[in-house]
Amino acid sequence: MADTPHIKRSPDAGSSSGKLTPSYLDPDYQVMGEGLTYKSVTDKITDIVLKLKTSKGWWIGFGLSFTVLQVLVVSIVYLLIKGPGIWGVNNPVMWGFAIINFVWWIGIGHAGTLISAILLLVQQDWRTSINRFAEAMTVFAVMCAGLFPLLHVGRPWLAYWMLPYPSTMGVWPQFRSPLLWDVFAISTYLTVSVLFWYLGLIPDMATLRDRATHKVKKAVYGFLSLGWRGAAKHWDRFTTAYLILAGLSTPLVLSVHSIVSFDFAVSNLPGWHTTIFPPYFVAGAVYSGFAMVLTVLIPVRHIFGLHDVLTLRHLNSMSKVMLAMGLVVAYGYSMEAFYAFYSGAQYEIQAFQNRMYAGPYAWSYWALILCNVAIPQLLWFRRFRTTLVPLWMISIVINIGMWLERYVIVITLNRDFLTSSWDFYSPTIWDWSLYLGTFGLFFTCTFLFIRFLPMINVFEMRELIHHVSHHHHVEGGHGADSHEKSVAQS
Amino acid sequence: MSHTVEIDRPEHYGMIAEFDSPEALMAAAEKTRDAGYKQIDAYSSFPIEGMVDALGQKRTRLPKLILTAGITGMLTGLFLQSWTAASTLGITIGPYMFYGYPMNIGGRPMLSLPNFIPVTFEMTVLFAALTAVFGTILLNKLPMPYHPLFNAERFSLASQDKFFLCVEARDPKYDREGTKAFLEGLHPDAVEEVEH
């Protein structure tokens, strides 16, 4: 009760409880629990970092992830000693797991950018409590993704050859190749994602600095906060830059996955050479990204008791985005099939027949349809969107489905133009161990992030409280009109 | 009176008043601005719309900088590709000479602009984004590990749940007693003098 004055805008409103519930909203549709104040929300989120004892669950999770990370280390070391011959890649299927996992991880990363940038531009206030987490996921996922092409080049210590620098060899990168576009797209994407994430963290670092009691923590967070004071002009520049970055990130994320799809679509191979690839790759990326956010957030929400900042509203909204993206992806699959047959090109038709029933990997196509198209239809039902365990399972199924999608696309190559060059592709133990190892990297980073950085954007939560309470006491003061919009559209 | 100011300046950074809500801070900022104070600033734990105007400050010029950087990035990307992939032009930088190295790739034209779009676009975004982030940090004069305001006892709440208005001692209208009385007239929760 001591905190309630902070959210009371006008003394005559008669709401001594200080609750933030916009009365016209369905309880399920609140973006945050009742009675949160600037102080309570600040304390709640920063205490996870500063005060709470490291939980047993965290140690188990971190220990497990760190162990799996060692699998990555071993896989990379052995790969560097022996070369990519330890993988199952062969002549028709030259990219194999490396490109499947690369595209899969990049796709997962895209949800972070989508949530933090696109939802900011369209003023969806429910993004506030998930954007920090999703941005962190983006950074970690892009790190995992980048490993694969880097290792697939065979001699990663020469990877800098791909950069445009004046070399003694006299040649420059081949700017007409989608693989080079990838270099620019992925490195730009990683840079922008890290910067966007860090910029958003600066004010929260200042909060941690000011709340920390331990000397070392105070120094470290103080260092990271860069001496942020929250002056009006600071915020003016900050919000301007943040909004423009969101505007830049939105086309960036679309361009990155379009360029990733160009790796396939620009080539002249049956099953790959289609114009539908860029849009449906982007939709697929968002699809898998949201699924991964749910896969990770649902347990985290439970472990850290974040039910009032990560409400059913968030899960419901994310499920709806997933469902919509799933339908776009399903449309992509059907158009892919339609154009293969409509084209009249026999190689295209044959590639699709192989993919669907005539080839040795037809099972993977139907597994993909099951995971990505059939099962997610359950999300039409509100019960599945707001019940944790089924939703969590559906999100995992979608993750598997999206991995299978890339598998199906890549494996199509096992039967290309000439029958004499047909071959089977089967991943080796080292393919699997490298893939498994990247989970170790991803989750080790995620656990460290949860423990040492505020996983929910604290200043935006305070801003949200300000806006929501404004709506509650509409008569109260400045800016109420503009703030109303963001609340009212829910 | 002006004599006092001369003495005060080196000793004090200014005077801060603490408020409980963004609205109270905004109202106080407007009154302080209207009272003729120029060197004032407001501190809050989240952005407050319109605060810059309430303080009589100018909006940031960051958007223009970012646009310039974006265009620079675009031209850089376009030039890099057209030069290296479509010309043999030699460029001297210091003691070194660099040459383009055009190659026939699948019979495409040397200046194959559609193929140059992705890299050009990425360079545009990269330059603009770097400017947005580093522009924000540097124009805010960060990193600045020490600032007199951190000496104020309750200023650590500025990043949590309190709102502060500061009148700086370098303001010509600043005088210890008068400013203190003025700030107290704004009904803050507390007024505190900030040491250097």
Q: Which phi and psi angles does B41 have, rounded to 5°? A: -150, 155
A431 contacts chain B (CB < 8 A): no
Interface probe for A, chosen from B122, B168, B187 (most Cβ of A below 10 Å), is B122
Closest CA to A260 of A104, A435, A407: A104
* pLDDT band at residue A125 using 50, 70 and 90 as cut-offs: confident
User: Hey, how many other C-beta atoms are within 10 angstroms of the C-beta on A299?
Assistant: 14
Measure the CA–CA gap between B191 and B180, rounded to whole angstroms.
7
Cβ-contact A347, A270 below 8 angstroms: yes
* pLDDT band at residue A304 using 50, 70 and 90 as cut-offs: confident
Is pLDDT above 90 for A241? yes
Q: What's the confidence (pLDDT) of residue B10?
A: 53
Mean pLDDT across chain A: 85
> What one-letter code names the amino acid at A185?
A
A14 contacts chain B (CB < 8 A): no
Residues of B in contact with A176 (CB under 8 A): 85, 105-106, 108, 112, 115
Helix axes B62-86 and A232-265, enclosed angle (nearest 10)? 30
* pLDDT band at residue A311 using 50, 70 and 90 as cut-offs: confident
Interface of A with B in 232-251 (CB under 8 A): 232-241, 244-245, 248-249, 251
SS3 B168: strand
Measure the CA–CA gap between B101 and B84, rounded to whole angstroms.
5
Cβ-contact A111, A286 below 8 angstroms: yes
C-beta atoms of A210 and B160 within 8 A: yes
Is pLDDT above 90 for A79? yes
State what percent of residues in chain A have pLDDT above 90.
49
Min mean pLDDT across A25-34, A43-52, A303-312, B153-162 is at A25-34
Q: What pLDDT, in 10s, does the model give residues A174-232?
A: 999 999 999 999 999 999 999 999 999 999 999 999 888 888 998 999 999 998 998 99
A322-354 burial: b if 16+ Cβ within 10 Å, else e: bbebbeebbebbebbeeebeeeeeebbebbbeb
Q: What's the confidence (pLDDT) of residue A472?
A: 54
B79 contacts chain A (CB < 8 A): no
Element (H, E) at B138: helix B113-139
Output the CA–CA distances (angstroms, integers) from residue A209 to A195, A229, A234, B69, in the order listed. Answer: 20, 11, 17, 33
* pLDDT band at residue A11 using 50, 70 and 90 as cut-offs: very low
Q: What's the confidence (pLDDT) of residue A477?
A: 40
Measure the CA–CA gap between A487 and A123, rounded to whole angstroms.
9
Strand partners, B92: B97
Q: What's the confidence (pLDDT) of residue A434?
A: 95
Per-position DSSP letters for A293-305, written without gaps between them: HHHHHHHHHHHTT
Is pLDDT above 80 for A30? no
- Mean pLDDT in residue range A284-291: 91
Distance, CA of A401 to chain centre: 16
Closest CA to A340 of A407, A286, A409: A409
Q: What's the confidence (pLDDT) of residue B78?
A: 95
C-beta atoms of A9 and B21 within 8 A: yes
C-beta atoms of A174 and B105 within 8 A: yes
Low-confidence ranges of chain B (pLDDT < 70): 1-10
Measure the CA–CA gap between A35 and B10, rounded to whole angstroms.
45
> What one-letter code names the amino acid at A407?
Y
Each domain of chain A, given as residue ranges in start order, spans: 34-161+172-488
Output the CA–CA distances (angstroms, integers) from residue A377 to A247, A371, B142, B173, in the order listed. Answer: 32, 10, 50, 68
* pLDDT band at residue A29 using 50, 70 and 90 as cut-offs: low
Q: What's the confidence (pLDDT) of residue A24?
A: 39
* pLDDT band at residue A261 using 50, 70 and 90 as cut-offs: very high
Q: What's the confidence (pLDDT) of residue A133?
A: 87
Is pLDDT above 80 for A295? yes
* pLDDT band at residue A5 using 50, 70 and 90 as cut-offs: very low
Measure the CA–CA gap between B115 and A181, rounded to whole angstroms.
9
Measure the CA–CA gap between A31 and A18, rounded to whole angstroms.
16
SS3 B92: strand
Residues of B in contact with A232 (CB under 8 A): 29, 41-44, 48, 51-52, 54-55, 57
Q: What's the confidence (pLDDT) of residue A165?
A: 87
Is pLDDT above 70 for A341? yes
Cβ-contact A261, A197 below 8 angstroms: no
């990997």: which residue's tokens? A361
Catalogue all structural domains in chain B, each as residue range(s) with its CATH number: 2-59+148-195 (3.30.70), 62-139 (no CATH)
A211: closest chain B residue by CA: B156
CA dihedral A161, A166, A167, A170 (to 10 degrees): 110
SS3 B163: strand
SS3 A237: helix
Measure the CA–CA gap between A480 and A477, rounded to whole angstroms.
7
B25 contacts chain A (CB < 8 A): no
Q: What's the confidence (pLDDT) of residue A198?
A: 93
Q: What's the confidence (pLDDT) of residue A28?
A: 52
Q: H helices within A114-177, ranges in order?
A: 119-121, 128-152
Q: What's the confidence (pLDDT) of residue A39?
A: 82
A51-85 burial: b if 16+ Cβ within 10 Å, else e: eeeeeeebeebbeebeebbebbeebbeebeeeebe
Q: What's the confidence (pLDDT) of residue A471?
A: 61
Is pLDDT above 50 for A1? no
- Mean pLDDT in residue range A270-290: 90
Closest CA to A388 of A457, A306, A446, A451: A306
* pLDDT band at residue A390 using 50, 70 and 90 as cut-offs: very high
* pLDDT band at residue A483 using 50, 70 and 90 as cut-offs: very low
B111 contacts chain A (CB < 8 A): no
Is pLDDT above 70 for A118? yes
Q: Which phi and psi angles does A2 have, rounded to 5°? A: -60, -20
Cβ-contact A146, A173 below 8 angstroms: no
